[in-house]
Structure 1
């Protein structure tokens, strides 16, 4: 069967709540930052289903031995926040994946051409092919930054089918590009907004997530 991009919009009430808080233009920066952290936590929780590798073992309870399932420590897990806004989701993701390696990738978009360029790349030269990679970026609008990130990751041996993207708001242009180039990907987002304006912003979206996270 031909793989295809899968987009999940979990119907969790906490995801809906924190999305509403983040959408509100009246939300102050400190509360917006908390909302993005919580969205990172709950969307990562959903993304980890059937993604984290596990092994079976026997454990000794206070009364008897019994079978148990634990995360396989031999399979690497990596989180790649797309700077700078992806840092807002990182704290929530890292709270659930405390042993994951963190690799920063800084991408900036030209506001006139909307083309991405990289100003910081801390990815390793080569990933273990079994590595589970979680990418965090609050907004999937035109798809330029995420396409750049995926090109860098796959060039270093990352398997798109073992990769999960966590975003707050996604839009069709980005999803269509990712689907065409990386059909094995899985995207977890709080909502899909249909409109991307001429400036490359999702409408209604969140506004500039980086500015709102860092109060700039």
Structure 2
């Protein structure tokens, strides 16, 4: 079955550049973190550049005359959800683009034998305004288990999937297919779609474990 959800791979040279830095096995952890910040910034820019953010038209006074102006509507709720722990690596870049957004954390651990995701931290509010725009920070979409669990938590709280944007550095067809079947309204902005997964559920060629490479762990 073909993937139906909307996934965008922006042809931006800076996204391509920082993706190359992240792929390189010789990139040290400190540089890897900087690259994650940068690619998070540019993917977020691409994700919000059209009509996703609600705006309001007003008139301001320049030093010379009144002038029409457009601002992000402060009365419309905006939320960012980093998926712990790797999602934190993109957050400096995400928040640079969306400084007024509220941040709520979700933490998942993957069983390396079953590849199933288990939630160990959930800081989402019990109910979420259905008009809330939500941007999810998740560097890797591999099997799709973590994102499926995330979306289930959001829908249970009243979220409209069509108002959700996911920013992800590297994605793979199994995750995209799973999300397409369950949430065709989703929109994903990714650095690239890789060819598939290995026997351990890691994206190939991928970039390794984004969390370990960001935080210098093994």
TM-score bin (small chain): over 0.9
Match of 1:132 in 2: 133
Match of 1:143 in 2: 144
Contact preservation (8 Å) 2:174, 2:196: no
For residues 85-104 of structure 1, what are the structure 2 equivalents within 5 Å? Answer: 85-104=86-105
Match of 2:26 in 1: 26
Aligned residue pair count? 213
Mapped partners of 1:91, 1:207: distance in 2:
21
Task: Please give the per-residue CA displacement for 1:109-160, whole angstroms capped at 9, x wherever unaligned.
Answer: 1000000100000000011111000001100000000000010011111111
The structural deviation recorded for 1:82 is: 0.4
Match of 2:121 in 1: 120
Mapped partners of 1:115, 1:106: distance in 2:
13
Unaligned runs of 5+ in 2: none
Unaligned runs of 5+ in 1: none
The structural deviation recorded for 1:195 is: 1.4
Q: TM-score, normalised by structure 1?
A: 0.97
Mapped partners of 2:155, 2:34: distance in 1:
32
Task: Please give the per-residue CA displacement for 1:8-49, whole angstroms capped at 9, x wherever unaligned.
Answer: 000111100000000000000000011011111000000012
Mapped partners of 2:64, 2:37: distance in 1:
39
Match of 1:63 in 2: 64
Q: The residue matched to 1:26 in structure 2 has which SS?
A: coil
Q: The residue matched to 2:159 in structure 1 has which SS?
A: coil
Contact preservation (8 Å) 2:33, 2:89: yes
Higher mean C-alpha deviation, range 18-27 or range 60-69:
60-69
Contact preservation (8 Å) 2:127, 2:157: yes
Aligned CA-pair RMSD = 0.6
The structural deviation recorded for 1:207 is: 0.2
Mapped partners of 2:159, 2:91: distance in 1:
20
Match of 1:6 in 2: 6
Moved over 6 A (4+): none
